[in-house]
Amino acid sequence: MKIARYAYQGKERYGSVESDLLKIIEGDIFGEFEVTDKKILLRDIRILPSVIPSKIVAVGLNYAKHVTELVKDREAPKAPLLFMKPSTSVIGPEENIIRPWKSNEVHYEGELAVVIKKRAKKIEPEEAKGGWAMDKREII
């Protein structure tokens, strides 16, 4: 099942994408929910970012090629740099990336997102396996 967050008629909701249609979902996609028979054509909705994160912690200068592109005559950092991004920096598919007017240099990168489901501390690798996947749901 492909689940999408979307905007339609001033409301933001989740739905199940099936070909060129979206079936409206009632309930909590992270808990109990039902895919209804109510359908909307995909062309009539705007796909939104799949979630609105509470915080975004990013890692900079974490691979050698990018470090050599940016650092040039300076010494590379001993450890990757951590920085925060505002949740408003997340955009959906087909949305324009707006370059801030003061930016002289903008970089693109492929990103990996990690969603932490439960509070955990000192988890052994064998304890972490299983139970962390979202079964057969695919959030787009």
CA distance 123 to 138: 26
- Output the CA–CA distances (angstroms, integers) from residue 121 to 59, 68, 112, 124, 138, in the order listed: 21, 35, 22, 9, 27
Domain ranges of the chain: 2-47, 53-131
Write out pLDDT tens, residues 16-67.
999 999 999 999 988 899 999 999 999 999 999 988 888 888 887 777 777 7
Which residue reads 């909705």 in tokens?
Answer: 45
**Residues 71-106 pLDDT 10s:** 776 677 777 788 898 888 888 888 888 888 888 877
pLDDT at residue 115, rounded to an integer: 64
Tell which CATH architecture fits domain 2-47: Roll (2.30)
Token couple for 49: 């970012």
Report field, pTM of the whole predicted structure over 0.75:
no
Start-to-end Cα distance in the chain: 10
Tokens encoding 77: 């950092």
